[in-house]
Structure 1
């Protein structure tokens, strides 16, 4: 035992001294191991810090209170709720429940539910258009005594103080930036006769981008709502809840008693100690399954995490292996001296393994330490990206210790093969520096090819047959290992392309092929890093494309619409001119609507002399799924599942996208410019408008004779009764020849008729507004100026600016992308740098034969670039596999949910919607950047750090 201890102690001392003597090489080896450890530890710290604990979540939602009481929106009837208070449902079936118009009617009942002696604090929110340095800005107004200790954690004061008087306001930092105001500025709302002074700036930890102002209870919303009502402005909806603090808190039984009075409660005690599922009445309702407990709710993200982390572990092994192999070769003379002085193979193995232990321990300390520093330094940047603050800087010592231990074990494992190889060399070969001649292994590539095929088959099975994402991850890992095993053979194939290259890259490629033992591990290291990056990027691109497809734009990208539905469109011309003047308008298309009844009627008025227009659906084109009568109010009940499913595919029952321009009956009056702004590329449609036809965007609206009917309803109540009874709807019908444009978006317009045609047909029209295409997206300052201009017109003009789909930032995907990108770039630089260190003899030979400094730099750069290029090409191909497998598995799961919904709903696809769209998108831009930037960056960096004039090799002392 003593001999074993002393021999290992001596081996560790020799390894430590050797590492200190060869600082450059030791730093490279250390970086090889520390880089992935840095990435893993930083990702762990980031995700842990971003994931709020229950206490931290409660602090942001209810502060220091024991509970938040709020109305359910069901008119005070008994309800069931989940423990978090996020979901509620009436005890009775919904068809038997009288719904209220919102949360406000229930708010008056809340104080009756509070326990005696409880401390309460009201929290009311509403919206208003507030005056800014540029114009008007829509913002949320929150009446909450923010200085009360009960709100601790809900808001964070950044400057000044919270309101202390009724004429004071505090604003969020984002509102202050966009409004152009500052602390001390005056602030009021549109049409409001009260002026407030900004006295403080704060932020909402959970919503950093919010436009919100804070006032004392009763200081803003109530008087502003009265002013808006008198001025005929848009109604101000106020939602009120209460923060409550009581002795003993609120148990689950207390929450259920409050539910009996129609009140939803978010309780601190319940969230800290949730009840069992069997004690939650909401979960006992038929068919109720909370999303977070459904199969696969978070499986896709977890599968991506598992896949990338697994690739990261493989990355560590691949990076460390070549590092110690090169280090052992550089120390072979020293190892030969050990053997010459009586040391046996066991001692040589111990020295090499001790080198792995020493470097691994140092890498563990450096990697985890830099991970802590990097995460702390990047925290504000990450918080700004996701739009919310992290919780506490969450350091899990056991997890970091495990990551550090992984570095130590990696150092040991990576040194095993070099230790065995070094111990088998003869003393003479070690002292003379001869490497000998080794034949390439012909079995390993075949084993690798088999692993690729088996892994791909497993991943394919997991994607199209199994419901387990882990199967895809496992198969991808096996295929990845197969590609790694095939790397030496693939490097040889790359070598055949050298005949078409210039001198320096040809020499670099031949050197890489000749020294496959050095090149293949370095290429494999870059391969694994790039594969992780490509896997995350491919999966993220597919998810983003799916969300983009599910997004329903109200207008074409960059388009602007303004409409004035009140008072017969009196202010519509002025609104058009305001948009034309203050926005970067390209094309303007005026819109009008068909008005029925007395002059000055709003588009939403009914009765009192005001009617409406509607586009008629011929009886033969009506969808049987929607035809209801007094005797059969629900047509779905009289249809079998087979009949409903068949009808759902009928063209008469096609579901159209109704998002966009709000016009009575979907019938708009305008010229061909409307088609241009809406992006409807049909030359025949413009010709039809000019020829006096009506352009229909819905096939069921066109009758058998090719005409569309427009009904002018003067008695709206009689028309509604007739529709309920299934009888003929009264009203004059005007028929016009039609041109059908079926397909694509029409943004809420069902039919378009020109002003001349409407006048000739006797259809009374009034101005509505206009739609505009723009040269660029209007910024916030332009929006504020326009809102202020429109506010001068009176009424409530409806202004819309389509900015398109905005990607939701995910901290998980962000952390994985940053980690994978960091490891990719670092692996390319360090692995190729290590290859350059191993090829130092070749560079010295060039200097000895008189090669100019430029050749030395060029060759060094191409040596690194060749390794990086091969790794990037192979890694890009290998990384796409797991991402495609995960997307296929996700598509299968979503298709299963869709089919289950079809089975439960007799209306089939007509109600459930279209089948899930789960696209697989290859991020060509990311791949292109990797294929070009990584090799180019590695080559340039290697050329820059290579000394122009290297010292000649010195004969080793004998």
Structure 2
């Protein structure tokens, strides 16, 4: 035991001195292991810091209060709520035919005796800015009260202390062009100015536009002024922050529920009750409640797979590092043998080197990961739109990551230790490597591993919902590719005959020295595979979300509509949009009215009627056809019949849009087709000839006509519908043209030419206009437009289509950023190690008189060749896990879709679209940037004139 201890002590001392003596080589080896540790630790710190603890969540919503009491507007009846207070329902079950309870509750009567309270009131309003008019939330909360500490973070100035003062969020100030010290005017209260005395931010809503004022100083005067000028008020929602001695317990929450209010309690949020103690969860339908959703399950699957591949990547990156380091130290190891050292001593020295470098890499990688996370935190917070909870360091997790580095260092040094101990003393001292035949067994093992791993991953994605199976299969397949690397390097060598001299020499050198090339290629392969896996999964989920997004209009298009005052102010509104926004094409639209011009399609005022498009009975979906008593008849169909009808064209639902008219009917001309992006000459001609252009063939009769029923007595129509009969009213028939193909119409089902409506005696009034724009309108332009429209005193529905905006996931963002960092760093370090191992070849070139340019060029191409092979193989290996995860998600979503089809709701939901999108731009960037960067770096660091040395020192 004593001899073993002293032997290892001496080995560690030799390894430490050797590492310190050859700092450049040790740095490369250390960096190879530390870089993945840096990425993993930084990703861990980023994700942990972004997660809010229960204490941090309640601090942002409750400040220092013990609870927030809210009125659910159920008239004070007893309710049941979840522990968070976000969901509630009447404690008594609502029977069929019973109405949902409504009404206000006096919160002041619910507050426990002796409790301190602070009123928190919210609303909204429009404010005058340097550009025009900007809508913002209003929060009346005395922010200087200690109970409110933590809800809002002051950035500049101070919070309001008297009636004429307000504070604003930093995002509002940026958008409005105002600043601390400016005066602020609210729409409807033009004679009153408010002084902005401070700027603040909401920790969980950095991009929120909000105004803070003292209670009773802004919302009530604003609502009173708006009511006086007959403008819609901002609304008002009052809650009470409460501080109670001993905290607000779950029993107190249930007592408050019995009196008709909901409570968000600090004590309950931090220590929630058991599920069996929550009355809401005991209700029918809540017992099987699952918090996990498809997106959450998919995210966990992605994280599990990528983390598993990251662990494998660390192992693969460390192997070539120690292989090169051991070869560079073979002369020193030969001296140990020449002085009587045994093979076990040589193995101990090499393993001790792995221990020393692994320990140093763990410390360096973890520290750099912490520094990198701390430096990037403000950028990540701005990107996500919310502040992290804290710089959350989990010592046990970081220790586990560091221990992985030490373990990796030891495991990666095993093979070099065994190889070095088997070399003869003479071979070690002379530096001769000998000639070794490539293994014929290893490629076979690699092929088997690739096939088996792909099969396992395919099974996991099609037959199982476990991400561990997908991760395991992907890891096995990647190991198989690594085993195939020497053989694949040989295949790459066949491309040398078509290359110029320098790259051909570099490629032949890489093939001839496969023992040196293969580990370096494997290192780059592992790093690229992780990046490609993350990029492929991210691109695929983004493509799915973008496909599921329902745009209200084509990108950049604008719609402006109003149903007030019979369209009296529509002409001025149309002109205002054209003046303030970069309009290209304007299409004026009208709407059909029955009765008074001021009536809209849903008005119940006296003298107002409505209209409806008469769908021919042969085109009515059998699933939704009413029975004689007006009830739904879908229950009479079997599961097989429901599935079949779910695919029937009569039962398919049209996607909605921003239109606000009944049945999607607009009165307009051919310009509207241009705004909608519909290029159909036949439809343009039909409109010019006075025909309706239909986008839903269910509305067409067999005679190619469309019937519109004018209902002058809505109550009689409702009574007829309840009995399964047609509503009474005159029917107007129009000649119609069905648009060819399936154009995207954004909720519009038909366009009625003004001449056709006039010909049959249907009354129309102006509704608004649709526009195309030369460029996306800016926030300042929209504020000017809101200001001009506000001068008309009419409420307008304005929609500017900005297209799909991707959701920002901090997990995928952290994985993508740090995977890319590892890829670039690993490629540079791996190729640097390959260059260090090829130093003898460069010295030979110098000995035979090669020009410095030749040395630099060859060195650059040697590193570039390694990087190219690693990127190509890593791209192929990285796509597999992402494909497996996407197939798993597709199977889950198809199961839910088929369940909806069985219940007769399949026609209301489209067939799930779960694509696998290969990020070709990312792959192209990797294929170009990584090899080019590695080659240039190698060429730059290669010395123009290398000093000649004795052969034995090689």
Distance 2:260 2:620 in 1: 40
Q: Which shows bigger deviation, 711-720 or 328-337?
A: 711-720
Distance 2:293 2:764 in 1: 54
Q: Is contact 2:629–2:724 with CA below 8 Å preserved after alignment?
A: no
Q: Which shows bigger deviation, 172-181 or 412-421?
A: 412-421
Partner of 2:918: 922
2:762 counterpart of 1:763: yes
Partner of 1:779: 778
Match among 670, 689, 696 for residue 691 of structure 1:
689
Shift of 1:336: 1.2
Shift of 1:163: 1.2
Q: Is contact 1:593–1:667 with CA below 8 Å preserved after alignment?
A: yes
Distance 2:231 2:747 in 1: 25
Distance 1:753 1:608 in 2: 27
Partner of 2:376: 378
> Quick one: structure 1 residues 358 and 553, their matched pair in 2 at CA, closer, same or farther if it must change by over 3 Å?
same
Q: Is contact 2:898–2:906 with CA below 8 Å preserved after alignment?
A: no
2:838 counterpart of 1:842: no
Q: Is contact 2:123–2:139 with CA below 8 Å preserved after alignment?
A: yes
Which digits, 9 at most, give the CA deviation of each residue in 1:319-377, with x for residues without a partner? 22111111111111111111111111122112111111111111111111101111111
Shift of 1:646: 4.2
> Quick one: structure 1 residues 646 and 496, their matched pair in 2 at CA, closer, same or farther if it must change by over 3 Å?
closer
Instruction: Give RMSD over aligned pairs.
Output: 2.0
Which digits, 9 at most, give the CA deviation of each residue in 1:407-428, with x for residues without a partner? 1121111111111111111111
Distance 2:576 2:136 in 1: 22
Within 5 Å, give how 1:29-428 maps onto structure 2. 29-91=29-91, 92-93=93-94, 95-96=96-97, 98-99=99-100, 105-106=103-104, 108-193=105-190, 194-288=192-286, 292-294=290-292, 298-428=296-426
Q: Is contact 2:130–2:177 with CA below 8 Å preserved after alignment?
A: yes
2:882 match: secondary structure = helix
> Quick one: structure 1 residues 896 and 288, their matched pair in 2 at CA, closer, same or farther if it must change by over 3 Å?
farther
Distance 1:233 1:633 in 2: 40
Q: Which shows bigger deviation, 651-660 or 925-934?
A: 651-660
Partner of 2:888: 889
Q: Which shows bigger deviation, 578-587 or 832-841?
A: 578-587
> Quick one: structure 1 residues 642 and 351, their matched pair in 2 at CA, closer, same or farther if it must change by over 3 Å?
closer
Partner of 1:736: 734
Within 5 Å, give how 1:472-621 maps onto structure 2. 472-601=470-599, 605-621=603-619
Partner of 1:812: 811
2:875 match: secondary structure = helix
Which digits, 9 at most, give the CA deviation of each residue in 1:665-692, with x for residues without a partner? 4221111110111122322211111121
2:940 counterpart of 1:944: yes
Distance 1:602 1:197 in 2: 41
> Quick one: structure 1 residues 173 and 843, their matched pair in 2 at CA, closer, same or farther if it must change by over 3 Å?
same
> Quick one: structure 1 residues 602 and 215, their matched pair in 2 at CA, closer, same or farther if it must change by over 3 Å?
farther
Q: Which shows bigger deviation, 42-51 or 659-668?
A: 659-668
2:905 counterpart of 1:908: yes
Partner of 2:854: 855
Partner of 2:826: 827
Q: Which shows bigger deviation, 448-457 or 723-732?
A: 723-732
Shift of 1:294: 4.5
> Quick one: structure 1 residues 688 and 289, their matched pair in 2 at CA, closer, same or farther if it must change by over 3 Å?
farther
Q: Is contact 1:75–1:98 with CA below 8 Å preserved after alignment?
A: no
2:858 match: secondary structure = helix
Distance 2:443 2:464 in 1: 29
Q: Which shows bigger deviation, 818-827 or 713-722?
A: 713-722
Distance 1:316 1:646 in 2: 52
Shift of 1:891: 1.3
Which digits, 9 at most, give the CA deviation of each residue in 1:481-527, with x for residues without a partner? 11111111111111111111111111111111111111111111111
> Quick one: structure 1 residues 13 and 939, their matched pair in 2 at CA, closer, same or farther if it must change by over 3 Å?
same
Shift of 1:664: 4.0
Distance 1:161 1:824 in 2: 47
Which digits, 9 at most, give the CA deviation of each residue in 1:729-769, with x for residues without a partner? 23322111111236343122221012222223322222211
Which digits, 9 at most, give the CA deviation of each residue in 1:607-654, with x for residues without a partner? 333333332223333334334468343434555555544443333322
Q: Is contact 1:607–1:717 with CA below 8 Å preserved after alignment?
A: no
Distance 2:885 2:95 in 1: 38
Q: Is contact 2:431–2:952 with CA below 8 Å preserved after alignment?
A: no
Q: Which shows bigger deviation, 581-590 or 668-677?
A: 581-590
Q: Is contact 1:607–1:716 with CA below 8 Å preserved after alignment?
A: no
1:170 match: secondary structure = strand
1:653 match: secondary structure = coil
Distance 2:661 2:313 in 1: 59
Q: Is contact 2:657–2:748 with CA below 8 Å preserved after alignment?
A: no
Within 5 Å, give how 1:780-799 maps onto structure 2. 780-799=779-798
Shift of 1:604: 5.3
Q: Is contact 2:140–2:213 with CA below 8 Å preserved after alignment?
A: yes
Q: Is contact 2:94–2:100 with CA below 8 Å preserved after alignment?
A: no
Q: Is contact 2:184–2:196 with CA below 8 Å preserved after alignment?
A: yes
Number of matched residues? 951
2:186 match: secondary structure = coil
Structure 2-normalised TM-score? Answer: 0.96
Shift of 1:723: 2.8
Which digits, 9 at most, give the CA deviation of each residue in 1:275-301, with x for residues without a partner? 212222222233336765448663322
Q: Is contact 2:248–2:265 with CA below 8 Å preserved after alignment?
A: yes
Which digits, 9 at most, give the CA deviation of each residue in 1:115-154, with x for residues without a partner? 1122222222222111111011111111111111111211
> Quick one: structure 1 residues 931 and 774, their matched pair in 2 at CA, closer, same or farther if it must change by over 3 Å?
same
Shift of 1:588: 1.4
Distance 2:781 2:293 in 1: 46
Unaligned runs of 5+ in 2: none
Distance 2:636 2:228 in 1: 49
Distance 1:738 1:783 in 2: 38
Partner of 1:878: 877
Distance 2:42 2:279 in 1: 42
Q: Is contact 1:74–1:98 with CA below 8 Å preserved after alignment?
A: no
> Quick one: structure 1 residues 644 and 348, their matched pair in 2 at CA, closer, same or farther if it must change by over 3 Å?
closer
Shift of 1:109: 3.1
Distance 2:471 2:73 in 1: 44
